Structure 1
Amino acid sequence: MADNDEHDRAGGRVLAIGLDAAESSLIRSLIDAGEMPAMKALLDRGSWSRVTGPTEWSSGCVWPNFHTGCQACDHGQYSIWNWDPAQMRLAYTDEERLTPFWKRLREEGTSVGIIDVPFSPFLGTTPGFDVHEWGAHSRVDGRVRVSPGLAEEVTTGLPEHPFTDPLAQVPVEPDQYAGFLDECIEGVRLRGELATQLIRRDQPDLSLVVFEEAHHAGHFLWHTVEPELPMYADFPPVAVPERTLADLYRELDRQVGRIVEAAGADTTVLVFALHGMGPSRGLPPVVEPLLEGLGMTHVQEGVSRRSALATIKKHMPGPLRDLYRRSVPLAKRSQWGQDSVMPAYDWSRTTAFALPIEQYGIVRINLAGREAQGIVPPEQYDQVCDALEKEFLALTTADGRPVVSDVARPPRGAHAAGLPDMIVHWHPAAFESPAVVNGVEHPNIRREQTGQHRWDGFCIATGPAAQAIGDTIATEELHRVVVGALGR
Structure 2
Amino acid sequence: MDESTLPRPGRVLAIGLDAAESTLVRRLIEAGEMPASKALLDRGSWSRLTSPTMFSSGSVWPNFSTGCQACDHGQYSIWNWDPAQMALAYTDESRLTPFWKSLSEDGVTVGVMDVPFAPFLGLPTGFEVHEWGSHSRVDGRVSTSPAGVTRDVSQFATHPFTDPLATVPVEPSEVGPFLDECIHGVRLRGDLAHRLITQEQPDLTLVVFEESHHAGHFLWHTVEPELPMYADLAPAALPERTLVDLYKEMDRQIGRLVEAAGPETTVMVFALHGMAPSRGLPPVLEPLLDGLGMTHVEERLDRRAVLAAVKERMPAVLRDLYRRSVPLARRSQWGKSKLLPAYDWSRTRAFALPIEQYGLVRINLSGRESQGIVPPEEYAPTCDTIEAALRELTTVDGRKVVQDVVRPPRGRHAAGLPDLVVHWSQAAFESPSCVDGVEIPNIRREQTGQHAWDGFCITSGPAAAAVSGDVVDGVDLHRYVLGALGR
Alignment correspondent of 1:38: 36
**Secondary structure in structure 2 of the residue aligned to 1:124:** coil
In the other structure, the counterpart of 2:91 is 93
Aligned twin of 1:49:
47
Partner of 2:191: 193
Q: Percent identity?
A: 72
Partner of 2:471: 472
- Output the CA distance in 1 between the equivalents of 2:62 and 2:139: 15
Aligned to 1:24: 22
User: Secondary structure of 1:413's match?
Assistant: coil
| C-alpha distance in 2 between matches for 1:162 and 1:237 | 25
Please list the CA deviations of residues 228-256 of structure 1 after superposition, one character each: whole Å capped at 9, or x if unmatched: 00000001222111111001000000000
The CA distance in 2 between the partners of 1:401 and 1:306, in whole Å, is 32
Secondary structure at the counterpart of residue 10 of structure 2 = coil
Provide Cα deviations, 1:387-410, integer angstroms capped at 9, x if missing partner: 111100000001110000010011
Letter in structure 1 aligned against 2:246: L
In 2: Cα distance, 1:452 partner to 1:27 partner = 16
Match for residue 443 of structure 1 among 427, 441, 450: 441
Q: Which of residues 385, 395, 401 is equivalent to 1:387?
A: 385
Q: Which runs of 5+ in 1 are unaligned?
A: 1-7
1:153 Cα offset (Å)? 2.5
Paired position in structure 2 for 1:485: 484
Structure 1: distance between partners of 2:257 and 2:7: 25
Q: 1:74 aligns with which of 64, 72, 75?
A: 72
List per-residue Cα deviations over 1:312-351 (Å, max 9, x = no partner): 6555432222112112211111112222211110111111
Q: Distance in 2 between matches of 1:147 and 1:457?
A: 30
1 CA distance for matches of 2:433 and 2:479? Answer: 43
Give secondary structure in 1 for the equivalent of 2:111.
Answer: strand
Shift of 1:469: 3.0
**What is the CA deviation profile of residues 254-280 of structure 1, one whole-angstrom value per residue up to 9, with x for unaligned ones?**
000000100111000000000000100
In the comparison of the two structures, how many residue pairs are matched?
481
- 1:210 matches 2:208: yes
Alignment CA distance shift 1:212-1:398 (3 Å): same
- In 1, distance between residues paired with 2:173 and 2:103? 47
TM-score (norm 2): 0.96
Q: Give the drift of 1:114.
A: 0.5
SS of the counterpart of 2:45?
strand
| Superposition pairs of residues 60-459 of structure 1, within 5 angstroms | 60-306=58-304, 315-459=313-457
Three-state SS of the structure 2 residue aligned to 1:34 is: coil
Distance 1:99 1:32, change over 3 A: same
The alignment partner of 2:296 has SS state of: coil
Range with bigger deviation, 334-343 or 94-103:
334-343
Q: 1:79 to 1:15 in 2, by over 3 A?
A: same
SS in 2 for 1:425: strand
Unaligned residue ranges in structure 2 (runs of 5+): 1-5
TM-score w.r.t. length of structure 1: 0.96
CA distance in 2, matches of 1:305, 1:362: 21
| Residue identity opposite 1:209 in structure 2 | V
Letter in 1 for 2:281: L
Cα offset for 1:307?
10
Letter of the 2:483 counterpart:
G
Deviation at 1:156, TM superposition (A): 2.3
* One-letter amino acid matched to 2:475: E
- CA distance in structure 2 between the partners assigned to 1:457 and 1:187 by the alignment: 22
Q: Which residue of 1 aligns with 2:3?
A: none
Query: How big is each residue's C-alpha offset from its partner over 1:133-174, in whole Å with a ceiling of 9 and x where there is no partner?
Result: 112111111111111323222222322111111211211111
Output the amino acid matched with 1:148. P
User: Which amino acid in the other structure matches residue 474 of structure 1?
Assistant: D
Root-mean-square deviation (Å): 1.5
